[in-house]
Amino acid sequence: MMGKKLKLIWGAFFLAEFGRTMYFIIVTWLLYSLTNDALYTGLLVSIGFIPSLIMNLIFGVIVDRMDRKYLTILANIINTMTIVLNCIAILVQAINPWIIIVTHMIIQLMGSLFRPAVQAFIAESFPKDLLPKVFSQSGSAAIVGGLSGASIGGILIGVTSGFMSMIVVAISFAIATISLTFVSREQVSSSIEVTQKSIATDLIEGFNYLKRNTFMFNLFGVMFVGQLVFHTSVAFLSVYTKEYLEQTVTVYGFLDASLSLGGVIAGLLGTWWWNKSANHISSHSLVVVSIGLLLVGLAPSLYIAFIGVFLIGLGTTWVRVLLQSIQQMVTDKAYHGRMSSYRMICNQGSVVISAPILGWVANSFGANGIYMALLLPVSFAMLIAIRQSRQKQFKKVAVRKTWLTSKS
């Protein structure tokens, strides 16, 4: 039963990320092709995150007080319907930049509901000693899905059309929804408690929990920068490919796949990297990210760009996934939804603020200038990571993780 449940979750993670990544490949290329203006790409990323940023606090409370399985299914159903409507707009030639941006807002909003809901769903559905393995393997399934979606999406839109590519995205979300409906619910029903507390009370309790666990702030700070680099790198990769490298959508798809491949390798080597770096996991990962940004920003050839993008995917995945695992391990189950939402507020807030600025950087200094500019927040995160490595609680968790993985 446990094995079947895990396989269904793998499938849902793979297909949801496959669809999400392919969708993003399609819309960023379509948007830049329609406008030929990097500022619109910045608006897509920035405005796209605003509804999520506003709703994250409420979503955290909703996840902590409602059925997590139903919430994950609901998010995927809305994603599927949104993509179908987008397909219709493309088919009748009514697609325009603002339809693309509104679609992106809905997809990002549902992502903000899906992620904390599915993480909490996993946390309550498996024994605690299996959680590191389950989170790692489901994360790897998502990364492989992203890799497949990026490479296939780039090829598909190059040889067919935006409409056909979007149909594949809709099918992926639909099958992911079906997979989630078959996940066993035995442990879920016993773990969700009915609460009569108000939303305001839940929010206050969540903030008080965060204040009592100041250790979370450094985690959020480093993950904040990891997400900023990751989302910005993906968002402006179409502009970088077309303007700086002067290549086609197929090359764009393979570049995005290279970034996802870095994520796959990071997942496979995650345990080794954690054991090797221990309490220096954040700073070592940020060094990898910095090298990748330098190579992409100064790339004298397409091959160097591929290596740089790969390293960005490698380093940001270690930052995002491994530190998120620490957060999940040290968080009480009753607060999983709210802590995940607070983390996403930090992550998405950074993108909302920075994306228009980086769009201006791309127009003024070239698309490669974006990747050079990202070295500034990475340097700031490095200072936080160095401080973090000296914290007793962080050391304790890193050593505990090493012990667990060495026994498995």
pLDDT digit string (tens) for the chain, length 408 residues: 567 777 888 888 899 889 988 898 888 888 888 888 878 888 887 787 788 778 877 787 788 778 888 898 999 999 999 999 999 998 888 888 889 999 999 998 898 888 878 877 887 777 766 766 777 777 778 877 877 887 788 778 777 787 888 999 999 999 999 988 887 755 444 444 545 566 677 777 777 777 777 677 778 888 888 888 988 888 888 889 888 888 887 888 788 878 878 887 887 888 888 888 888 888 899 999 999 999 999 988 899 999 999 999 999 988 887 887 777 777 776 676 677 767 777 777 777 778 788 888 888 888 899 999 999 999 999 998 888 777 777 777 766 444 344 433
Residue-range definition of the domain harbouring residue 79: 2-184+198-407
CA distance 185 to 171: 25
Residue 62 in domain: yes
Enter the pTM of the model.
0.72
Please write down the long-range contacts of 83-86, taking CB distance under 8 Å and 24 or more positions apart: 83/19, 83/23, 83/107, 83/166, 83/169, 83/170, 83/173, 84/170, 86/166
Q: Is residue 72 part of a domain?
A: yes
Instruction: At 331, list the tokens.
Output: 């968080």
The answer as to whether 190 is a domain residue is: no
Q: Tell me if 290 is assigned to some domain.
A: yes
Which residue is listed with tokens 């086609």? 248
Q: At what angle do helices 323-330 and 392-407 cross, to 10 degrees?
A: 100
Two tokens, residue 206? 């969540």
Within a domain: 325: yes
Q: Which residues fall within 8 angstroms of residue 164, CB to CB, at 6 or more apart?
A: 156
Residue 192 belongs to some domain of the structure: no
Residue 357, token pair as written in the block: 């600025």
Number of domains in the chain: 1
Polymer length of the chain? 408
- Amino acid found at 248: T
**What's the chain's Rg over C-alpha atoms?**
20
The neighbour count for residue 196, using CB atoms within 10 Å, is 6
Start-to-end C-alpha separation, the chain: 20
pLDDT at site 390: 79
Q: Is residue 284 part of a domain?
A: yes
Q: Where are the alpha helices (DSSP H) in 182-280?
A: 186-191, 199-212, 215-235, 237-239, 249-268, 270-277
Is residue 61 in some structural domain? Answer: yes
Looking up residue 58, the CATH number of its domain turns out to be: 1.20.1250.20
What integer pLDDT is reported at residue 186 of this predicted model? 54
